[in-house]
Amino acid sequence: MRAQEVLTALQEKLGERLRAPEVRTEAIGHKRTLERELVWAEIDRDDLLEAVRTLRELGPLHISIISGVDAGDRIELIYHFAVGYGTPDGEVMVNFRLSVPKNDPVVPSICAVLPGALTTEREKIEFLGVQFSGIPDARKLFLPDELEVHPWRKDEPKLSDYVRYTVAWEAKKDEKGEAGA
């Protein structure tokens, strides 16, 4: 399967709801450089499940990870998939960019379509405060239960209360004349 075929299937299913769609080519390899095509597009949270189901219809589907970042007034998530995972024809990497406002960071869970997404969704709950509606298990996975902050949030008011060595590190940098972070 080729990247353009995947993109065409997504465009047919989602139409204008698939924003900024493109096929990018990147070089891979160390000594012998190869090229790989990737699909990139932006979607809204309301279209996530339909987009993932569309990918699943195209062949074996694997989620690599959901990347996440605090982007000021919103949380930006990037879903990284491999369509055609493990097939002789190879796989096509597909990336969906999705943003949610910080005051309503709720996204539908894709675990009903891809159970393997559970770990990466739970990670985003803990570290960014994103909530996944319909997630089968929202327990903490990495951080202690008593930790009530989201460490990847830039606006987390109590984070410094939980971070060890912050004051000592800043003091040491000041002694060396280095600029603070």
6 band by pLDDT with thresholds 50, 70 and 90: very high
What percent of the chain has a predicted confidence (pLDDT) above 90? 67
Strand order in the sheet with 74-83: 19-28, 34-42, 92-101, 74-83, 61-70
User: What mean pLDDT do residues 9-31 have?
Assistant: 92
In the predicted model, is pLDDT for residue 15 greater than 90? Answer: yes
Name all domains of the chain by residue range, CATH numbers in brackets: 3-142 (3.30.460.80), 143-181 (no CATH)
Give me the pLDDT at residue 13, please. 97
Give the pLDDT confidence of 90-114 residue by residue, as tens digits.
899 999 999 999 999 999 999 999 9
Record the pTM: 0.85
In this structure, are strands 34-42 and 92-101 parallel, antiparallel, or unpaired? parallel
Give me the pLDDT at residue 171, please. 60
Residues 6+ apart with CB under 8 A from 110: 48, 49, 52, 63, 79, 117, 121
Residues 6+ apart with CB under 8 A from 14: 43, 47, 50, 51, 54
